[in-house]
Amino acid sequence: MKQCFFAVDLGATSGRTILGTFTPEGLEMEDVNRFPNRLIETGGHFYWDIYELYRHIIEGLKIVAQKGDVEITSIGIDTWGVDFVCVGEDGGFLRQPYSYRDPHTAGAPDAFFEKVARKQVYEWTGIQVMNFNSLFQLDTLRRNGDSALAAADKLLFIPDALSYMLTGEKVTEYTIASTAQLVNAKTRKLENALLRELGLTENNFGRFVYPGEKIGTLTKEVQRMTGLGEIPVIAVAGHDTASAVASVPAMNPDFAYLSSGTWSLMGVETESPVITEETESLNFTNEGGVNGTIRLLKNICGMWLLERCRAAWGETSYPELISEANASEPFRSLINPDDALFANPADMEQAIKTYCSDSHQPVPQTRGQIVRCIFESLALRYRQVLDNLRTLSPHPIDTLHVIGGGSRNDLLNQWTADAVGIPVVAGPSEATAIGNIMIQALAAGTAKDIASMRQLINRSISLETFYPEDAEVWDTAYLHFKQVTMNH
């Protein structure tokens, strides 16, 4: 029987389940099932379909159970951050969870900071202010007299809600909770002063667990439905970025990472939170990592820009768009990818054109020009954030590791290396799933520590290194980028 780890990896647009096996050659991974994760818009709100996600997980477990030659050692679930489910006293979900893209939190931080000073919130949590953080979602629900929150006995973050559906055990996993802006960065526990402002206590959350702890085992119901036995469900790094960063194949600590997907997250690993006036003014975040680390990072809008354009272009293939971008004129138009204009526009292509027009630049006309504008702007934005990280990081930054789906984009990787001026190591593209599996392996005793796991990944996965070129051209473009984005 082959011993495997079952990883559930859910993103904001799609999800999948994966089997991971360690062999003498390294880590082998096999997709079990892939599925879309679609927002439901009704009654003026955007919801996730938690039951549909659960159904797909059960389907994946059934497929593995029918294989016959595979034994699942454990199960781990990672998802996007901040969103949560309200659970009633009888254990049932009170409604589908709101999505962080729901417009109800517009202006929510300012409303909360009238009660607790912004500076105080940042001193406690070290988390960047984004209107969809759970802290502001909860405060908004409370101000709006939300019936599900009023009746809630427990609040479960998305990965914890799904593990509850599998095990019947309610937990709050540290890395996912840290995205909520409710965890004290120094004590690594929920901050009671913030909970009080929301009318909540620690009892409104599940048992607090850290990556590698066991949540529970599959319920009799799930065992019957899937044909599996009492398999343990492990709290991995429930936040997908924390799982992804765990798998960075770095051979020494002097690196920054760029987790590149719908969102780009750029940061460094530190032993303790970095909470200063500078990190606050630059809106850097201190999220929980594995093995007691902190992920000092910045959220950057990533492939969201291109994904939204592609949806309107009839799903044109990436290679086609990349070759059109490569053939277009360099640095014709640049945007700030993090401008509020791009948060959730009805028409992303039009939003990009509007930005260029408003900032007195040539308006991109062709698909190639749009894609080139997106990629060059992202590469230059990465440089801007990396420049800030260099001043904040406790160690030097010699290499940038690009992980996640975006690591397969050779053109963007080369431009990123050109922009940032240090080597870019691309891979693994399956970083989140690998990190999820690694933490399960550590919990099972198959692996001894994160450093040795990283070395194993470095040996067993093909990585590509991109070296900086055209330094002067990119330096000039960077000055132009700063000018354009500062004045907009």
Q: Distance of CA 141 to CAs 91, 146, 379, Å?
A: 20, 5, 37
Catalytic residue among 9, 83, 160, 240: 240
SS3 75: strand
Q: How many CB atoms lie within 10 A of CB 360?
A: 9
The interaxial angle of helices 348-358 and 304-312, nearest 10 deg, is 120
Q: What is the CA radius of gyration of the chain?
A: 22
Phi-psi region of 422 (alpha: psi -120 to 50; beta: other; left: phi over 0): beta
The answer to whether the CB of 352 falls within 8 A of the CB of 484 is: no
Q: How far apart are CA 32 and CA 8, in angstroms?
A: 10
The answer to whether the CB of 174 falls within 8 A of the CB of 108 is: no
240 is catalytic: yes
End-to-end C-alpha distance for the chain, whole angstroms: 60
Residue with tokens 């949560």, as numbered in its chain = 84
Q: How far apart are CA 244 and CA 431, in angstroms?
A: 5
Phi-psi region of 68 (alpha: psi -120 to 50; beta: other; left: phi over 0): left
Encoded tokens for 94: 């009170």
Phi, psi of 248, deg, nearest 5: -60, 125
Positive or negative CA dihedral for 203, 206, 209, 211?
negative
List, by residue number, the catalytic residues: 240
